[in-house]
Structures are given as C-alpha cells and as structure tokens.
Chain A
Amino acid sequence: MIRAIARVLEERTHAAPFGLKALRYLFPDHWSFLLGEVALYTFIVLVGTGTYLALFFHPSTAQVVYHGSYAPLDGMQMTEAYRSTVHLSLDVRAGLLMRQTHHWAADVFVAAIAVHLMRIVFTGAFRKPRELTYYVGLTILGLALLEGYLGYSLVDDLLSGMGLAIGYGVALSLPFIGANVAQLIWGGPVPGTADFWSRMYITHVFLLPLAIATLIAIHLALVASLHHTQFGGGRRSERRLVGLPALPSYAPRSLALMFTVFAVLFLLGGLVQINPIWLWGPYHVADGTNGAQPDWYLGWLIGALRLMPAFDVTILDYTVIPNPFWGGALFPSVVFGTLYAWPSIERRFSGDRVRHNLLDRPRDVRWRTATAAAFLSWVLLIFMAGSADRAYILFGWSYETQLQIYRVLVFVLPPVVFWLTLKICDELRRNEEVERHRHEAEDEARAAANRV
C-alpha cells in the first residue's frame, strides 16, 4: 500500500532523492536545539488562532454604540474594531479561547525566539558559514515584535490606544523626518485616520505573517542545507555528524514537541485570563489608564523611555531630537544593530575566518560569553525598569528611587557581569582540569596496582 503510494508520488514528482535525504537527516541530540522548534510550532498556533479571529474581527474605525451582552459597556460609543473584539470574546463560540490562546502564543513565540537567540550567541553558532541563517533569524525576531505590537493595537481598547499614542510619539521624535513618517503611517494626528486601521490590519494579518513565514522557510532551508551544528566531544568532529535520523527516531519526537506546544498554549488560553479588554473599555483620545504596559516583549522599550533623563537636543527654538527618540528609536537600533553586527565584529577581533560546524562551549570562549552576558544584563535591566510602577504599587519601592538605581546600574552592572562571567568560565575550566588530572592519576594508579 505504502509502496504503491510512494510509486505514484515518485512517478509524478521525482522527489525521492530529496525525500530520502530528509528521512535520513541527522538531528543533533541536545535539548537546546529544540528551542527554535518551539518557536516554529508556536507560529503555527498563531496562524491558526489568528485565522479564526479574522473570521469575526472587523478592522473598522466606524463609531458604533454598544448594545451587546456585557452590561457595563452598554450604550457606550466605540469603534467597530473594539465592538467586534468584545463580541468575539464574549459571544462567539470558542472566541475567547482562540483570542487568549493567540495572545499567549504571541508572548511565548517571542520568548522562544529570544531564548533560541541566546543559545545561538553563547555557543557561537552564528559563525561562518551560518551568518545568513543568523541574520534571517534576527529579522524574524524584529518582525515578530512589530507583529505583536500591531495585534495589541488593532483591538482599539484603552491599552491599544495608549500604546499607539506612544508609538506615534516615537515616530514623531525621529530627527527631521519624524513628522513626515508619522503622517505617512497614521495619515494624521493620533488616533489616525480610518486608512491607518486598514494599514495596520493588512500588515498584521497578511504582510508580516507572510514575511515571517517566508523567512522561517529560508531559515529552515539554510539550517538543513548547511546542516545543524553540534557540540564537540565523543566521536563528533567538524566533519563527522553524530545524531538521530529523522526516521524512525527524531520525527516522532518533534511531533510530540509540537503537540505539547499546542497543549500548553491552548491550556493557558482556556485557563488563564489574558488581556480582558472588556474591563479596559474602548479608547477615546482623552482617556487613559494608569499603569498601561505593553506586552512583555516591548517592555525593554518602555523601560528605556522611562529611564532616559528628560533632555532634548535643541538649536535655539528648534527641537532637533525630541526625548522619545533616545529610548524609543535609538535604543532598539543599538540593540538590533549590535546583534546584526556581532558576527562581523567577532571576526574582526578574533581573525577567525574558517568554517565551523562544532559549537563552542560558553566557558571555552570566555570573552564572548562575558560580552554577551554583560549585554544581556544591560537589556534586562532596562526591561525591568519598564515595570517599576507595578513594583512600586506591589512592593512599595519608591518609583523615583527605583529609576535612580536603574540609571546607575545600567552603567555599573554590565562591567560587573562581564568580570564575573570571566571568573566563572575560568573556574569551570579549572575544575575540569583538576578532574582530568585526578582521572589520569587514578588510571595510572590502577595500572600500577594491576602490574604489581
């Protein structure tokens, strides 16, 4: 039966060589190679749930009066976008499950990419010949952030509106071109024109998903054609691969992982509330809520906006660089710029231009590990500063004091982390050395005892 199907397919596709290669593909056996797969399967959930939501969501700024099932909103003026989202959340079968799963999946998608990226950086997986794979992955991360922001904004609840107002402020702050850029995107001052909603919608449901899906395909094709990297040790070398073939070993595992990802996301979507928009109410330009926060993956930008001391660059009466530029535009440019430039920077400093298929253990390349750890601590600190207001309400730590401490720590902590990481790497290697000597001595002693 299978043979017959295979023959029919082969006669019409001539795909057998490719198929055989895929079935025999060897997967390295370390758990950290699965992080990217988690992101991939989360993306599938995002597309699936997002499609369901699109069946009920109306991307319209038409003003309507709510007369739905949620009494506290009854008679309130709102846009059709918000009304349809409340409706699909509270009155459409499985609507809330899908919306919450979609939102949880977005949070997990970016988290999975971030952890995957850390593994790549700390093990030197971005080195020749895999720079392109790395750049494509970084681009997926950047697009995912934008995609998440648009999803958060499209709903037009109170948080959406405030998030868009901040985005508008950052766009305006771009030196010289800011006003034109903001006008081009929003079509007018916040909250923007009806066209702006169409632009966000087509970008969120078509352009960015398509771009991300295409980049994922390129990313995977590059991974497969260059083959996975692997850690050294045992029989593994730059030229010899050790791992599990796709069939019969690895494919079932990967499927199991996929179903676990689906299960975790849908369980969260069904059991844990996320973004209860009916409680926030619709956005009107004059309204606002205290403690409005972006989803976690944009928390680093809110943190940067809050940490930056209040100063603009002005020439006479003309403000050349308004304040939101530093935290909202320059900071993410520096972070992404550093990440994009990293392979070239490292090549420049190490002079290492050969091909690598074996990964570094973080402790073995102490300066890279220390630099990456310091960089990570810097971004993390700024990220944490974004929730200083919540920390104030929750723990009573003075907001102003927290900001002052963060402003000092962003300069002090990274060098400390750098130094500490160097020491930890050295210590780990020294311990291994000691262990190795002990083993050698034991072996010698055993051999000597046997001779006697």
Chain B
Amino acid sequence: MRRAALVLLAAAALFVALTAAPARGDSTPRSALAGRGAELYAENCSSCHGIAGAGIGAPSTVHGVGDVAGFGPSLRGVGALAADFYLRTGYMPLRNPSVQPRRSKVEFSPDQIRALVAYVASLAPGPGIPTPHPARGSLSEGMSLFVQNCAGCHQAAAAGGYVPDAVAPPLGPNSPRDIAEAVRIGPNLMPRFSQSRLTDAQLDSLIAYLLYARHPDDRGGVALGHVGPVPEGLVAWLVAGVVLVGVCITIARRPA
C-alpha cells in the first residue's frame, strides 16, 4: 500500500516536472500559468498570430475576435521580452493590423499578462524580460548614444517626431523596462538594436539619459515643450505681438 502510494507520488512528481519543463518546439504548454495563457491566447491573439503562435503570413480572410482581419507574425522565439512589451504598453491587441500600434489602454490584467507572457515564452526559446540598471549608466554617454541613434526619429529632447508613414512616439511615458525592451525588439519601423550594436551597459546609459530628459535642466524660464521654433514663433506672435500692438493702440490714442 505504502509502496503503491510512493509510486503514485513519484509518477505525480514526474508528471509535474515534465509539464513545468520548458516545452522546446512543442506547441503544447505545460505549466499552469502558461496553460491559462494558452486559453487567453486562443481567445484574443490567435486570429492574427495563428494557432500556437505559428503566425499568419499572407493576407488572409481569417476573421477572429471582434472581426479583426488576421495578419500577424509568428511569435515563436520572440520570448517573454516581446510579449511583455507589447501587452504592457497596450500595443497589443491591435484592432487594425495595418495601423501603427500606439501606447493605449492595457486590455489585460497584470495576472493575465503574466499568463500570456509565460505562454508565448513557452512556444520556443527566446529572450527573457530584461532588467536595466539606469543608475549604473553615464548621462553623457547616454546623450551621445541618443543623439547618434535615436534623435533622428524621436527628436533631440525625446519629444517624438514624424517619420514617413509612422510616428516616433515621445519617450517620456516609457519606464526603463519599456525602453530596454523596445530597443531589443524594434517595434514597428524602429530598427532592432542587438547586443553588438548597443551593449547592456550602453543601454543603461541611454535609459539614464531618457529618465533625465523627462525633466531636464530647464533654465531660462517656462519651457515650451523642448520642441524648438514652432511654439517659440507662436509665443513671439501671440504674446509679444499682441502685447506690443495693444501698447501701440493705447499710446496712439489721443487724450479726449
């Protein structure tokens, strides 16, 4: 009896161990968390990203949840990093696959996101969620890297910019983790920066600078959004211009 119980226990332990192990190339998720993720995935993501993250390549007529036209990349190998970024920023789920994903309302609870991330990570081996350390970075190295690699689209003070067919969003709302993930992914039109182009130490510096750029040294009075001459011209005309014309009108009035 005791032996039978032991065998049963061992079998159960073996079963748990097997299901918890990362399933390499296997589309069947094994952990409980990933299991819940699989359900959420089937309901919310599979219409575009395909069965078990296989992706839907060519334009297709698949219509899934909310009548979203299916057309999405494979998620195998993107890892926890990409799933975490896209879900926490509200980039996914995306209503219309042909528009640029923008930071928007997050559709899932933190628990649901953990489940989905675990599921996507279980599809194939991929990069994990990074842990940046901006405190270790250097502000001036960060500024140099930012101007050389990022300002061309995101604007020198990270206020965002226009690129053909897309917006490079303002970077103020991004947490260090968001930035670390986006740099390694390259969402939408953004290029992907691998370790060989930007080391983790450089990434720390970059993030240190971006945290600084949220509230930079604003000497000189009220800042006009750090975007340069357009708001400055508006102030010149609408403040100085209006005041001075008003003064001219007052001065020219003859005493009655």
Contacts and interface: CB of A to CB of B under 8 A. Distances in A.
B236 A108 contact: yes
Contacts, number: 191
B252 A278 contact: no
A195 B105 CA distance: 55
B156 A279 contact: yes
A96 to B, nearest CB: 5
Nearest to B239: A268
A292 B168 contact: no
Chain B interface, DSSP helix/strand/loop, else mixed: helix
A340 to B, nearest CB: 25
Given A34-B248, A290-B162, A71 B140 contact: yes
Chain A interface, DSSP helix/strand/loop, else mixed: helix
B69 interface: no
A173 B30 CA distance: 65
Interface residues of A, number: 68
A256 B253 CA distance: 13
A295 B156 contact: no
B232 A296 contact: yes
A400 B228 CA distance: 22
Contact of B151 (A29, A261, A290, A296): A290
A75 to B, nearest CB: 5
Nearest to A260: B247
A251 to B, nearest CB: 12
Contacts of B164: 399
Given A272-B235, A287-B151, A96 B244 contact: no
B104 to A, nearest CB: 13
Interface in A12-66: 29-35, 38
A290 to B, nearest CB: 3
A24 to B, nearest CB: 18
Interface stretch (B14-22, B31-39, B108-116, B217-225): B217-225
B232 A38 contact: no
A273 B218 contact: yes
A75 B205 CA distance: 14
B240 A34 contact: no
A291 B226 CA distance: 11
A253 interface: yes
Contacts of A96: 219-220
